[in-house]
Amino acid sequence: MKKAIKWILWIILGIGLILIPKIFGIYYTNFFVSLAIMAVFSQSINIELGYTRILNFGHAMFFGMGGYGAAQALALIPGMPILGAVLCGMLGGGLLALVLSPLVVRVSGMACAMLHVAFNALFFMLAMKLRPLTGGEDGISGFPIPPFNIPGIISIDMTNPLNFYYFAVAVLGISMWLMWYFTKTPFGQIMIGIRDNPKRVNYLGFKVPESRALVYIVGGSFAGVSGSMYALFQNLFSSDATSGLNSFQPVLMTMVGGIGTFIGPIIGSAFFSVVEELARRYTERVELVMGLTLIIVILFAPMGFMGLYRDLKARWGKAPSLPKI
């Protein structure tokens, strides 16, 4: 019975996603795409931050690797398929995570956070400096967006916003599902174990540093996916997407939605996008609205919306409160 309801909900969600462009028009369709990109980006940090407690405050590096990877793949390699570009982005993010992982697994807590902010700052400076490679502040732009091609069967024009929407929903949806699946595997339980009590996980015979590294690489790869989708969506990738500020954005979203829960980053991204949209449309002072929103949310729901929901639920029924990070 419960399974049937679940399936019905999934089908409704699917139909809803298909119908979004029909109901809301191109503008809100694109709004949804950028929201979904942010949601995947936030989710990829949630895996590290929320599930495993790797304080990665430099996630924009991986986002940047994804964006530059995809943009350069399309700009340099003629005939690069669109999925290939996304894959390049994913590899870019994953590769950087692989390179950094030996360092990152050694440190924890504030030092890890600082390390990331530091590397992010260096990465950003390099993105500005290495203009032949990155285009600096102006970024890489005007690269071709190839059609989605299954040879002999189908070729869909990706410059059409509608087609791109379906492509983005598919890619981002699959990424989301993969991350969800990742947290549900037995390894996902180890991740949570590492977060809550690394020593104990160690005594149980699991290799903590290696596990942390794996989570880190997975997070980096999916940040790469979101970065490459961002580059494809904008048809431009400039250095400001790799700045430290862009690292804080997903952390804030995850936190506001509810860290350590799977649905949290999605809620957070949606909340942020909507508040920003409303603030921009109806006020002249976007920062003030965003700043006050953050302060109010954190004072009244320090564990985010999901934390608030669980607290309320715990008051009536029984549900464990979220762990504090």
Partner 1 sequence: MDPTTAMYVSQGIHGLAYGMILFLVASGVSLIIGMMHIFNLAHAGFFMLSAYFTYQFVAWTGNFWLALLLAPIATGFCGMLMERFLLRPLRGSGVIGDLILTVGVALCIDALVKVIWGTANKPLSKPPLLQGMVHFAGLDYPYYRLFVIGLAVVVLLIMALLLYKTRIGKIVRAAVSDNDMVNALGINIPLLFTFVFGVGIWLAGVAGAAIAPILSVFPGLALQMGMDAFIVVAVAGFGSLRGAFMVSILFGLMNSYGVQFISQLAPLSMFIFMAIVMIFFPHGFFGESEEE
Partner 2 sequence: MKTGKGILMFFYVFSFFFLLTAMSPIQATAAVKAKFDVNKMADMSGFDPNNFPNPTGDTIKIAIVATFSGPAAAVGEGFWLYATWAAYDINKRGGLMVDGKKKLIQLFKADTMSRPDQAKKICEQMVLQEGVKFLWGADGSHIVKIMNQTANKYKVIAVNMISLSEDLQDAKNFSPYAFMSWWQTSQVGRSFAYYFGQRKKEKKFYIMCQDYVFGHEMAENFKKGLKEYYPEAQIVGEDFHKLFATDYAPYITKIKASGAEVIYTGDWDPDATNLLKQSRAMGLKLPFAHIYMGNPATLASLGVEATTGLLIGSPYSNGNPAFKTPEQIKYHKTMMDAYKRFKPPYNKMDYMLGWDPLAMEFSWLLSVIERAGSVDAEKIIKTWEGDTYEYVNGHVKTMRACDHNTIQETYILEYVPPDQQRQSFNIPPYHWSDKSALYGPAFRVPAEKVLPWMDPNLERCKGKKPSDIN
286, 298, 301, 308: which one binds partner 2 (CB under 8 A): 286
Contact 321, 260 (CB under 8 A): no
Q: Considering only 105-113, 190-198, 231-239, 297-305, which stretch makes contact with partner 2 by CB under 8 A? A: 231-239
Q: Does 271 bind partner 2 (CB under 8 A)?
A: no
Task: Round to whole Å and give the CA distance between 158 and 295.
Answer: 40
Give 183-189's long-range contacts (Cβ < 8 A, gap of 24+).
183/47, 183/51, 183/262, 187/211, 187/214, 188/51
CB nearer to partner 2: pick between 136 and 147: 136
234 binds, among partner 2, partner 1, none (CB under 5 to 8 A by kind): partner 2
CB nearer to partner 2: pick between 41 and 51: 41
CA-wise closest residue to 255 among 300, 220, 291, 305: 305
248, 263, 301, 308: which one binds partner 2 (CB under 8 A): 248
Task: Round to whole Å and give the CA distance between 156 and 253.
Answer: 33
* 224 Cα distance to chain centroid: 9
> Please, what's the b/e burial string for 103-126 (b: 16 or more CB within 10 A of its CB; e: otherwise)?
ebbeeeeeebbebbbebbeebbee
Q: Does 142 bind partner 2 (CB under 8 A)?
A: yes
- Phi, psi of 276, rounded to the nearest 5 degrees: -65, -45
Task: Round to whole Å and give the CA distance between 117 and 247.
Answer: 9
CB nearer to partner 1: pick between 158 and 223: 223
103 binds, among partner 1, partner 2, none (CB under 5 to 8 A by kind): partner 1
Contact 145, 167 (CB under 8 A): no
Q: Does 242 bind partner 2 (CB under 8 A)?
A: no
What secondary structure letter does DSSP report for 317?
A: S
50, 89, 135, 257: which one binds partner 2 (CB under 8 A): 135
List binders of partner 1 among 287-306 (CB under 8 A): 287-288, 290-295, 297-299, 302-303
Contact 268, 254 (CB under 8 A): yes
106, 129, 184, 207: which one binds partner 2 (CB under 8 A): 129
Q: Does 280 bind partner 2 (CB under 8 A)?
A: yes
230 binds, among partner 1, partner 2, none (CB under 5 to 8 A by kind): partner 2
Q: Does 31 bind partner 2 (CB under 8 A)?
A: yes
Task: Round to whole Å and give the CA distance between 165 and 24.
Answer: 13
Number of neighbouring beta carbons within 10 Å of residue 146 = 20
10, 285, 296, 314: which one binds partner 2 (CB under 8 A): 285
Cβ 258 to partner 1 shortest distance, Å: 12
Q: How many residues does the chain have?
A: 325
Query: Which residues lie near partner 2 (CB under 8 A)?
Result: 25-27, 30-31, 34, 128-129, 131, 135-139, 141-142, 159, 230, 233-236, 238, 240-241, 243, 245, 248, 280, 284-287, 290
Interacting residues toward partner 1 by CB under 8 A: 49, 55, 103, 106-115, 117-119, 121-122, 125-126, 129, 244, 248, 251-252, 255-256, 259, 285, 287-288, 290-295, 297-299, 302-303, 324-325
